[in-house]
Chains A and B, each alone.
Chain A
Amino acid sequence: MSGITIALSKGRIFEETLPLLAAAGITPTDDPEKSRKLIIGTNRPDVQLVIVRASDTPTYVQYGAADLGIAGRDVLIEHGGAGLYQPLDLNIARCRVCVAVRKGFDYARASQPGSRIRVATKYTKIAREHFASKGVHVDLIKLYGSMELAPLVGLSDAIVDLVSTGNTLRANNLEAVEDITTISSRLVVNQAALKVKRELLQPVIDAFAGAVKP
């Protein structure tokens, strides 16, 4: 398409992106929470939004199916970032990636260099690199949701997951024992689009940069 396509995921990223879009003079014509439409128009005829699953945002932008996208750094690390520019930290949708275990589990002992630990996670790459840097052998169990359940039912010793308030962990008798990294969302840009459609994309990127809150 000759205009701009922006890939966004529903929920927190969409809500916290609205002020940035507004700074670029873009207002969506539908609310993805209410509409079932996956392609949402805006007040600007040359700008459309596509609503994708958060972990798919980098793929859409890499394929050029969207020119711009907003993706959490967790998702970008898992994706690898090939074919993408990620020029801006938008400082939205902030949270941490943590190791969490059942209360009372001796994590310090279980994670000594040379020991072996079973970890359930959606973030296999982040978990693999984290435990490798500590010199801990890790057996990874890839799960797609409800990670908190795994240590409770004995599926794993620990989980690696996003933590924002810690309420879900507390409700399930788990505790965060180690921070791996902090996460916020980034603007990602298709490399070819930035070259070929720079006149169109640059004002949006600049408007986002100007509207990022410290």
Chain B
Amino acid sequence: MRWVLPEYFQDVLPPEADKLEHLRRKLLDAFRLHGYQLVVPPLVEYLDSLLTGAGQDLRLRTFKLVDQLSGRTLGVRADMTPQVARIDAHLLNRQGVSRLCYCGAVAHTLPATLTASREPIQIGAELYGHAGIEADIEIIRLLAEVLRIAEVPTSRIDLGHVGLFRALVGRAAMDDDAVRDLFGLLQAKDVPTLTERLAPLDATVRSALLALPKLYGDASVLIEARRVLPDWPEVVTALDELDRIAAALPGLPISVDLADLRGYHYHSGVVFAAYGGHSPSALALGGRYDAVGKAFGRGRPATGFSLDLRELVQRLPAPDLPGAILAPASGPDGLNEAVRALRARGEIVVETLPGHEGSWGETGCDRQMVWHDEQWLVVSLEGEGAAHG
């Protein structure tokens, strides 16, 4: 058992590693073309700073260790979003909008979902400095672009709004424990238990909280929501925002779930999740978290999303990529130029080393270069190529 990895940690081998890296580059390129600048925060930080503005859940999911230099407790990041919020709040100090993106491994003490790795590769984009829904719309469009680039089959983006729940519990004067309890029940759409718990509350709040778990589906849910929820200004504002966002995203597979409040302890407005690729849980999560910057000493409106690249790649069909081309170690004039020309076209060219005949299929070669009629031709790899191909 010497070389066995701990549970939920894995090596990524060829060709999956290639697929993962290929998608990582494509997504980071897309972020770059949308004006999102790459930041690379460290793997390990002081725990206090890693957990600033985060919930209890993240605290439990963070690996901790002691810093031999300072004696302080360090954490291995379990989420890069607080790191990027710290960078925006303190290091960049921009007054206007800043658009940042990132990609890196994070570690979880317990896997986030049943199928997740304990070392997800988190990739995401965040937009700071704009409180209006234009920022939410931009970031949801960017998420849709990610799903398009990754070719996720049957995808769907589900919208929610934390403001609705906040407005309702705000008027009910409940203590934190009761609110946390209700939050859990709403997340599970546990109507039977909710009905029990809400019995002592005021009728307006009770019927509104009981309506939330049933308010999901296409955008017509928002019309129903206006009918069954109280017309308090906070509620109307939240529904208006969702209406305007849904209207601004025609052609996208948008749906609504008003009981979906993921991470409401730091989210503050519109939240969203992407589903698809037959994944049993959400592929990407995102939303507005205006209060997190304040915890870092500088309140900034913020919205963004992130996803686990490992999970995403596993959900995608294997791309049909061509194999490599085997080149002889030496040959008539022009071999080097011919090899260079093939590589310039994006072909993988592997040079023969002496004494390894018969093993080139292992390295992914399915074609070879041959000197024919005074020129270099690429033909299928005889014998072993057929066996491996």
For chain B, residues 228 to 261, give those with C-beta under 8 angstroms from any C-beta of chain A.
Answer: 255, 257
- Among the listed A63, A87, A195, which residue makes an inter-chain contact with B189, where contact means beta carbons less than 8 Å apart? A87
Q: CA–CA, A193 to B282, complex, Å?
A: 10
In the complex, B156 has a CB within 8 A of chain A: yes
Known: A62-B114, A194-B216, A195-B158. A186 touches B192 (CB 8 A): yes
In the complex, B352 has a CB within 8 A of chain A: no
Q: CA–CA, A193 to B277, complex, Å?
A: 11
- Among the listed B214, B257, B280, which residue makes an inter-chain contact with A83, where contact means beta carbons less than 8 Å apart? B280
Q: CA–CA, A190 to B158, complex, Å?
A: 15
Residues on A with beta carbons closer than 8 Å to the beta carbon of B213: 87
Distance (Å) between the CB of A82 and the closest chain B CB?
8
Report yes or no: B115 in contact with A86, Cβ–Cβ below 8 A: no
Distance (Å) between the CB of B204 and the closest chain A CB?
22
Residues on B with beta carbons closer than 8 Å to the beta carbon of A198: 216-217, 255
Report yes or no: B188 in contact with A192, Cβ–Cβ below 8 A: no
Residues on A with beta carbons closer than 8 Å to the beta carbon of B255: 195, 198
Report yes or no: A196 in contact with B276, Cβ–Cβ below 8 A: yes
Report yes or no: A83 in contact with B281, Cβ–Cβ below 8 A: yes
Q: CA–CA, A88 to B191, complex, Å?
A: 7
Distance (Å) between the CB of B316 and the closest chain A CB?
16
Residue of B nearest to A189 (CB): B189
Report yes or no: B280 in contact with A190, Cβ–Cβ below 8 A: yes
A contact face: mostly helix, strand, loop, or mixed: mixed
**Interface range, A side:** 20 to 34
Report yes or no: A64 in contact with B280, Cβ–Cβ below 8 A: yes
Encoded as 1 (CB less than 8 Å from any B CB) or 0, chain A from 191 to 209 comes to: 1111110100010000000
Encoded as 1 (CB less than 8 Å from any B CB) or 0, chain A from 28 to 67 comes to: 0000000000000000000000000000000100111000
- Among the listed B158, B273, B280, which residue makes an inter-chain contact with A63, where contact means beta carbons less than 8 Å apart? B280
Known: A86-B189, A195-B257, A196-B156. A64 touches B217 (CB 8 A): no
Residues on A with beta carbons closer than 8 Å to the beta carbon of B115: 63
Q: CA–CA, A191 to B281, complex, Å?
A: 7
Encoded as 1 (CB less than 8 Å from any B CB) or 0, chain A from 85 to 101 comes to: 11111000000000000
Q: CA–CA, A85 to B114, complex, Å?
A: 15
- Among the listed B154, B189, B191, B216, which residue makes an inter-chain contact with A196, where contact means beta carbons less than 8 Å apart? B154
Residue of A nearest to B214 (CB): A87
Q: CA–CA, A2 to B332, complex, Å?
A: 57
Known: A64-B279, A196-B276. A83 touches B114 (CB 8 A): yes
For chain A, residues 70 to 92, give those with C-beta under 8 angstroms from any C-beta of chain B.
Answer: 81-89
In the complex, B224 has a CB within 8 A of chain A: no
Residues on B with beta carbons closer than 8 Å to the beta carbon of A83: 113-114, 280-281
Report yes or no: B216 in contact with A192, Cβ–Cβ below 8 A: no
For chain A, residues 175 to 195, give those with C-beta under 8 angstroms from any C-beta of chain B.
Answer: 186, 189-195
In the complex, B32 has a CB within 8 A of chain A: no
Report yes or no: A192 in contact with B192, Cβ–Cβ below 8 A: no
Residue of B nearest to A188 (CB): B188
Q: CA–CA, A186 to B193, complex, Å?
A: 11
Q: CA–CA, A83 to B216, complex, Å?
A: 17
Known: A190-B280, A195-B156. A86 touches B275 (CB 8 A): no
Residues on A with beta carbons closer than 8 Å to the beta carbon of B214: 87
In the complex, B190 has a CB within 8 A of chain A: yes
In the complex, B278 has a CB within 8 A of chain A: yes
For chain B, residues 252 to 304, give those with C-beta under 8 angstroms from any C-beta of chain A.
Answer: 255, 257, 273, 275-276, 278-282
Report yes or no: A192 in contact with B275, Cβ–Cβ below 8 A: yes
Q: CA–CA, A191 to B282, complex, Å?
A: 8
Known: A86-B189, A192-B275, A196-B154. A63 touches B114 (CB 8 A): yes
Residues on B with beta carbons closer than 8 Å to the beta carbon of A59: 114
Residues on A with beta carbons closer than 8 Å to the beta carbon of B281: 83, 191-192
The 3 lowest CB-CB distance pairs between A and B, nearest first, are: A64-B280, A89-B192, A85-B189
Given contacts A89-B192, A195-B257, 13 further A-B contacts (CB under 8 A): A62-B114, A64-B280, A83-B114, A85-B189, A86-B190, A86-B192, A89-B191, A186-B192, A192-B275, A194-B216, A195-B255, A198-B216, A198-B217
**Can you list 28 A-B pairs with a CB-CB distance of less than 8 A?**
A59-B114, A81-B188, A82-B113, A83-B113, A83-B280, A83-B281, A84-B188, A85-B189, A85-B190, A86-B189, A86-B192, A87-B213, A87-B214, A89-B191, A189-B189, A190-B280, A191-B280, A191-B281, A192-B275, A192-B279, A192-B281, A192-B282, A195-B156, A195-B255, A195-B273, A196-B154, A196-B276, A198-B255
